[in-house]
Structures are given as structure tokens and as C-alpha cells.
Structure 1
Amino acid sequence: MDLSCGNLSEPVFFLNLNPYILLLIYYASISSFISSIFFAAIGRVDENQHLPDYK
């Protein structure tokens, strides 16, 4: 796919598909952000539970 060529069918198709791609990226980033916070909280809870064993 060469974007420099003057074919209008591919850019129009890309512009029609772009909102769905942006929505997918939006939901993927939000889900990864929430999962990272979730796993970070689990990691902190694990570290807090294992802290008395190290002392």
C-alpha cells in the first residue's frame, strides 16, 4: 500500500475505518491502563503481605 500514489479508494477506506480503529485503540488503552493499575495494586498487596517475613 503506497500512500504517495493518487489512488483515492484506499484513503477513503482508511478514513471510513479510522473511527473504529480509534475506538479499538481507545478501549485497548483504557483496559490496559486499568489492568496495570489492578496488577500494581495486587503486587503492592503481595509485597505488604510478604514484608514481615523478610524482617
Structure 2
Amino acid sequence: MLRYLEHSPVVIHGSSTGRRYEFSAASPKQRVDARDAESLLATPFFRQVNA
């Protein structure tokens, strides 16, 4: 489970799976495939959270 830390809506395609993820201030948390999470967590825009 990742939390998006910004406010602007963003659509991201997972670097490993190609899966489409949509984040925004209204929907900042969602489950992300572990293979994609690694690259997202390497940015300052995401943080891992407990489900």
C-alpha cells in the first residue's frame, strides 16, 4: 500500500508490470504491485503505509 504525498492528480504506469495507477489528493492511497512499488518509493512523492 502506497500513499501519494502530492496534491495534483497523476497517472503512472508501473515500470515492471505496466499496470496503470491513478493517484490524487482525493485518492492518495492504493495497493501497488511490489514490483512497481520499488521504483515509486525511490521518488519523494510516495511513502509505504500499512493497509
TM-score band by shorter chain is under 0.3
Q: Which gives a bigger RCO, structure 1 or 2 (Cα 8 Å, sep 6+)?
A: 2
Q: TM-score, normalised by structure 1?
A: 0.20
Q: Which has the higher helix share?
A: 1
Query: What is the TM-score with the length of structure 2 in the denominator?
Result: 0.21
The structure with more radius of gyration: 1
Q: Decide which structure has greater strand share.
A: 2
